[in-house]
Amino acid sequence: MSLLSRPAGNKKVPIPVPEEKLKEGTPKEQVFVASQWQLMWWRFRKHHLAILGTSLIAVFYLLAIFCEFLSPYDPNAFERRYTFVPPQAIHFFHEGVWEGPFIYGLERARDPETYLITYQPDTEVRYPVEFFVQGDSYKMWGLLESSRHLFGLSSDVNARGLRIYLLGTDRLGRDMFSRVLYGARISLSIGLIGVFLSFVIGIFMGGISGYFGGMPDLIIQRIIEFLRSIPTIPLWMGLSAALPRDWSSLQRYFAIVLLLSLIGWTGLARVVRGRFLAVREEDYVTAALLQNASEARIILRHMLPSFFSYIIASLTLAIPGMILGETSLSFLGLGLRPPIISWGVLLQEAQNLQTVALAPWLLIPAIFVVIAILSFNFMGDGLRDAADPYKR
Amino acid sequence: MARYIVQRLLYAIPTLIMISLVSFAIIELPPGDYLSSYIAKLEQQGSRVSQSELEALQQRYGLNQPVYVRYWKWISNFVRGDMGMSFEWNRPVKDLVMERIGLTALISLLSTLFIWAVALPIGIYSATHQYSLSDYLFTFIGFLGVGIPDFLLALVILWWAWSTFGVNLGGLYGPEFIGEPWTWPKVMEVVKRIWVPMVIIGTAGTAGMIRTMRANLLDELPQPYVESARASGLSETETVLKYPVRIALSPFVSTVGWMLPGLISGTTIVAIVLSLPTTGPLLLKALLSQDMYLAASFIMLLSILTVIGTLVSDILLVLVDPRIRFDDVQAG
């Protein structure tokens, strides 16, 4: 009888373990020697929604980073003949025969009663969807000049003025798919930069408040209380409306980010303060104090690492608020303005009920906003659960 | 108790002062002063401003004087109920604001009640049926409710009602009632339509509240006192409703405080999408046309409304929750 096959009876026979396995150690031993980050990863991995959220966020940021290449057209290029084209489906089979990815042609007609232009797929003509096609030229990240796009129609079809509109077009005949991708770049980066700024303010204010206590704490707590007790949207609206009108779009972008984080840092400061208060009494801080370590060293070297994971978790949970703030403001026309493309700016086109009824695909950016917000929430939830891997 | 209330009132004062400073900053920040935009507006309409009128206006707003004088003039007038003129509407700001702030408060209040009425039973059900199919369903809905911004929800619902039923859910009353006095038919019309903003604004709060209620009740359910109530022969419903639910209720009162800023925010933006006759649309219009006295008064009043609401909820919490002792209550 081979040693590896299990005996039929109840008698326990030791199963030999290969050499390499022994070196790695059993899972339990792994837990004992694993680093804090390793433990956090293991715990985070168990949170399925968090993994899903994180993957979606990764996809979104990839879309945002490579939007010039991934989008088939220049987001500002308009086609006067193709306004309010509904989303086109990519087909693979024509009359049951495999054709590879292709789209049907567009038939343009005018409704005899309402005089509205309607589009019908014209199944007579088929245009294959090709990859790595030449199209509108762009400058990737403002550096690399190219005109190659991931997908599109072949250049001779392009030359005839035919386009592929995966998410339809807006009132000027601009490709919504390209615009959503470019919008992702602005909307998602506002979240990151805004959170980074709030992080700087929050950690500074929360740190002072929690570490020193006393009068500074009282003042900062009052400020936080004040900021939390006023409704944010009206305040954001008021402040962004007060921005000078003649500012360039870049100035406006940074001003909006600054406004969002000037009001949004309070949650983070609270977390930092609470952690500082908890950690301040720990033995290792007393030990560092006794060894005459400087205050900066105690804060940065001893205290901060112990609650860094909490900060990352609350940072992640703060990003959706930023994205939402920008989207709301731009939607109202007080935030970013065209020619900048953000999801909020795109949704501004959908403000009018009649327009939305005519072209419901203008609401598609909203789906992206919701997915991004949910994903960040899930990821933040998982991070928060994993933040203290020693807690049972 | 009285001491606590006085203390809370005193703490509200610096908050109110800061609110007034921020609101005043919103008036002052745009380039050019109020008067020049006013004159530009008048000249656009073809009327001219006489020198004496100009001087009277300058005197009134203290435009030639330093900032702190202007601030003082503005705030002391504000407290006395004189909020300046809206050049967009050519009416006193006070009238415009007062017309609309009541409905804003009403919608916020209704949304709060809606949140309570929905979240309380669902939270209890979720906690007592933990990990059941419906618990997962409510958790999922809760996540969606938190994740979907209310103005987008409003937009989608508006579009859905329009495209499937051909009904425009926007507004609180049909065009025939605009400018009409508050008569019975108008009130009934509002009652028929007000549930739309109420539900939309309440969704996010409901989702959050279900989570809180569920978590709180789950903390209480395994406590020994629940077991002893059960052991003394109470039915399961009675056991749950009589003891742990009562303790788990305290977030319902205490969260009004932090819910209110969100509710007012939500009301503002949802009202713009649904074009309700509340503060939101008028605030946006005022901001877009740089009618800053009107805008700042709105922001100031909305903030004051929030502060008062928070204050009331804090005091209610102390009244409702017997576990809070007054000697423990310090610094808020």
CB spacing of B149 vs A324 below 8 angstroms: yes
Q: Which of B22, B155, B165, B311 to mutate to test the interface with A (most CBs of A within 10 A)?
A: B155
Q: In chain A, whose CA is at the least distance from the CA of B298?
A: A234
The A91-94 sheet, strands edge to edge: A91-94, A97-110, A117-140, A144-153
**CA–CA separation, B185 and B174 (whole Å):** 11
Over residues A73-77, the mean pLDDT reads 81
Other CB atoms within 10 A of residue B291 CB: 25
Q: Report the percent of chain A where pLDDT is more than 90.
A: 2
**B39 in any annotated domain:** no
Interchain CB contact of A239 with B (< 8 Å): yes
H helices present in B289-329, as ranges: 292-320
**B5 in any annotated domain:** no
Over residues B252-279, the mean pLDDT reads 77
Interchain CB contact of B163 with A (< 8 Å): yes
**B325 in any annotated domain:** no
Q: In chain A, whose CA is at the least distance from the CA of B267?
A: A233
Verdict on whether the full-model pTM lies above 0.90: no
**Is residue A24's pLDDT more than 60?**
no
If pLDDT is split at 50, 70 and 90, which confidence band does A295 have? confident
- What is the pLDDT at residue A169? 83
**Is residue B291's pLDDT more than 80?**
no
pLDDT in tens, A196-210: 898 888 888 888 887
Per the structure, how many domains does chain B have? 1
**Is residue A60's pLDDT more than 80?**
yes
If pLDDT is split at 50, 70 and 90, which confidence band does A11 have? very low
- DSSP 8-state symbol, A161: T
For this complex, say whether ipTM is above 0.90: no
The dihedral through the CA atoms of B259, B261, B264, B270 has a sign that is negative
Q: Is A3 exposed, middle or buried (0-12, 13-18, 19+ CB in 10 A)?
A: exposed
Over residues A8-32, the mean pLDDT reads 53
For residue A98, the cross-strand partners are A93
Q: Report the percent of chain B where pLDDT is more than 70.
A: 84
Over residues A25-50, the mean pLDDT reads 72
Instruction: Choose between A370 and B184: higher pLDDT.
Output: A370
Written as six digits, the tokens of B310 are 């928070």
**B108 in any annotated domain:** yes
Range of the domain at B163: 101-280
Contact A190, A64 (CB under 8 A): no
- What is the pLDDT at residue A1? 39
Q: Is B150 exposed, middle or buried (0-12, 13-18, 19+ CB in 10 A)?
A: buried
Give, for A76, the enclosing helix (H) or strand (E): none
**CA–CA separation, A189 and A182 (whole Å):** 11
Contact B171, B274 (CB under 8 A): yes
Contacting residues of B for A378, CB less than 8 Å apart: 143
pLDDT in tens, A118-172: 787 777 777 877 788 777 778 777 777 877 888 877 777 777 777 788 888 888 8
By DSSP bridging, strand A97-110 and strand B91-92 are unpaired
pLDDT in tens, A171-230: 887 888 889 988 898 888 988 898 889 888 888 888 888 778 788 888 888 888 788 777
Determine what percent of chain A falls in helix, strand and coil, rounding each to the nearest 5: 60, 15, 30
Contact A136, A73 (CB under 8 A): yes
**B23 in any annotated domain:** no
**B165 in any annotated domain:** yes
- What is the pLDDT at residue B329? 44
**CA–CA separation, B55 and B33 (whole Å):** 14
A358-386 burial: b if 16+ Cβ within 10 Å, else e: ebbbbbbbbebbbbbbbbbbbbbbbbbbb
Among left, alpha and beta (phi > 0; psi -120 to 50; other), residue B163 is: alpha
**Is residue B268's pLDDT more than 50?**
yes
Written as six digits, the tokens of A121 are 């797929």
Query: Between A and B, how many residue pairs show a Cβ–Cβ distance under 8 A?
Result: 135
- Distance of CA A277 to CAs A218, A270, B107, B277, B317, Å? 14, 11, 40, 47, 26
Written as six digits, the tokens of B47 are 């009327």
**Is residue B7's pLDDT more than 70?**
yes
**CA–CA separation, B304 and A226 (whole Å):** 11
Q: Which of A260, A289, A127 is nearest to A199 (CA)?
A: A260
Query: What is the per-residue DSSP string for A162-223?
Result: ----TT-B-TT--BHHHHHHHHHHHHHHHHHHHHHHHHHHHHHHHHHHHHH-HHHHHHHHHH
pLDDT in tens, B235-262: 888 888 888 888 777 766 666 666 777 7
CB spacing of B152 vs A369 below 8 angstroms: yes
Written as six digits, the tokens of B304 are 């004051």
**Is residue B328's pLDDT more than 50?**
no
Contacting residues of A for B265, CB less than 8 Å apart: 231-234
- What is the pLDDT at residue A59? 92
- What is the pLDDT at residue B62? 67
How far does B237 lie from chain A, in Å, by closest CA?
Answer: 32
Among left, alpha and beta (phi > 0; psi -120 to 50; other), residue B112 is: alpha
**B300 in any annotated domain:** no
Residue of B29, B152, B292 with shortest CB distance to A366: B152
**B159 in any annotated domain:** yes
Helix (H, G, I), strand (E, B) or coil at A277: helix
Interchain CB contact of A353 with B (< 8 Å): yes
- DSSP 8-state symbol, A153: E
**In chain B, which among 15-44 make CB contacts under 8 A with chain A?**
15, 18-19, 22-23, 25-26, 29-31
**Is residue A90's pLDDT more than 50?**
yes
pLDDT in tens, B21-70: 888 888 777 766 666 666 776 677 666 667 777 777 777 666 677 778 88
Q: Which of A52, A215, A218, A226 to mutate to test the interface with B (most CBs of B within 10 A)?
A: A226
**CA–CA separation, B85 and B94 (whole Å):** 8
CB spacing of B302 vs A234 below 8 angstroms: yes
Residue type, A112: P
CATH of residue B220's domain is 1.10.3720.10
**CA–CA separation, A73 and A86 (whole Å):** 17
**Is residue A108's pLDDT more than 50?**
yes
Residue of B30, B159, B260 with shortest CB distance to A353: B159
Question: What residues have CB less than 8 Å from B144, skipping those under 6 apart?
Answer: A374, B207
Interchain CB contact of B146 with A (< 8 Å): yes
